[in-house]
Amino acid sequence: MSTLYSSFNAGISGLNANSTRLSVISDNIANSATAGYKRQSVSFQAMILSSGGAGAYMAGGVRSSTMRLIDERGALSPSSNPTDLAISGRGFLPVTSNSQGNTPLMLATTGSFRPDSQGILRNEHGLVLLGWPANPDGTVGTHSRDTAGGLQPVQINRTQFNSDPTSEINLRLNVPATATREGASGDPHDVTLEYFDALGSSEALNMRLTPVVPATGTSNQWNVTITDSSSGAVVGDYVIQFYDSGPNAGQIQSVTQPPAGEGAPYDPATGELAVTVGTQTLNLNIGRLSDGDSVTQMASSFTPVSIIKNGSPVQSLLSVQVDPDGMLRGIYDSGLVRAIAQIPLIDVPNPNGLISLDRQTYRVSEASGPMFLWDAGDGPTGDLLGFAREESATDIANELTNMIQTQRAYSSNAKVIQTVDEMLQETTNIKR
């Protein structure tokens, strides 16, 4: 009779196992439209109570176990929001529920992030996107890669206004060769060089070029004095000597400084004069020695050819973009594109060992292994994509097929219980 009762128990375990499978299928189907949902799978293992020896066989039945397949990726779909994020490969976005810090740290594979009232990027579930903030010049410092200590909530409105101070001015002009001959008037020529300071204000340098008039002959030499218009201070003193013959006639022969002259020495490798205004360094490119693309001394007229500078005044943030390497950049109305933050991707050795949380998020566990923060697209991680969402990993057709199989298996196990019940009834009927 114990064998018959074991059949009864095996049938019950089959009903329980297939009930679990149906629960998983229903969960997968219910989340078929949930962005970033990772489907669960069920596996069955036989329970062995008898080795099949000389004694009576005892049916052990079946045991079920579930596992969320976090390493499976759903299809990517486009969107119209630049901070809708998805990953084209392995890796997780760092998110948290705390807008003031980086704990508790959670992992997500996708999210529709938009700025809240404070400019902090939050997804549709209120979770905050984390990243490494950029410095004012758009560079991102070095951070530890095995801890979340350097991560901060990504905030956009703190960069709503930005300045792009000038660092380079390319100057091309021609000074008259006749001005350095004996008997010339010695009148100077002035050039105004606009630049933008760190606050986005428009300032100016005045470059005065004064010819050196010799008593006899021609000097081909000019004294250059650079003055900051806002303070009136001299920030650069130089002497430019030009060739007066040969294949390099009219080109720069040398650039020197008088004793105790202001400014950094001329760099012949780059053709630059570096002057400092307050804490701002401006590199004035006048051209290299013996180079036709430089300041020249030709003919008899003073001609400013071109003045090209970088930088811009104060500008407003128009939009943002996310690069495949995880760099979140602001696009300003002047055309400036500058990094706001870098969003790293987190990877663990065993993604399926992560602890599943609400809102399609996960937490590192002992089974998942330690986390490491990668630049997107580097190491094992995929590229980070803006204007994209990851869809649910549920395959409706596959789930419906599994549902049919589960229904048949459940019915078969119920039939086993019914048959055992009938056999026990027959046993009871032996004595009437």
pLDDT per position as a tens digit, 142-179? 999 999 999 999 999 766 788 889 999 999 999 999 99
Interval 108-136 mean pLDDT: 95
Q: Which tens digit of pLDDT belongs to each residue from 46-87?
A: 988 776 566 677 888 899 999 999 999 999 999 999 999 999
Q: What is the pLDDT of residue 335?
A: 82
Mean pLDDT value of segment 341-352: 97
Q: What is the dihedral of CA 288, 291, 294, 295, to 10 degrees?
A: 100
Residue 245: per-residue pLDDT: 93
Ranking 197-206, 340-349, 371-380 by mean pLDDT, the lowest is 197-206
Residue 54: its pLDDT value, please? 64
191/229 Cα distance (integer angstroms): 12
Burial of 310: CB neighbours in 10 Å, binned 0-12, 13-18, 19+: middle
Report the distance separating Cα 86 and Cα 80, nearest Å. 13
Q: Report the interhelical angle of 2-30 vs 396-428 (nearest 10°).
A: 160
Kindly report the pTM of this predicted structure.
0.77
Average confidence (pLDDT) over 316-343: 92
At residue 427 the predicted structure's pLDDT band, cuts being 50, 70 and 90, is confident
The pLDDT tens digits for 212-223 are 999 999 999 999
Mean of all residue pLDDT scores within the chain: 93
Domain 166-310: CATH superfamily is Flagellar hook protein FlgE (2.60.98.20)
Residue 157 pLDDT: 77
Sign of CA dihedral 77, 82, 83, 89: positive
- 75 burial type by CB count under 10 A (0-12 exposed, 13-18 middle, 19+ buried): exposed
Percentage of the chain beyond pLDDT 70 is 97
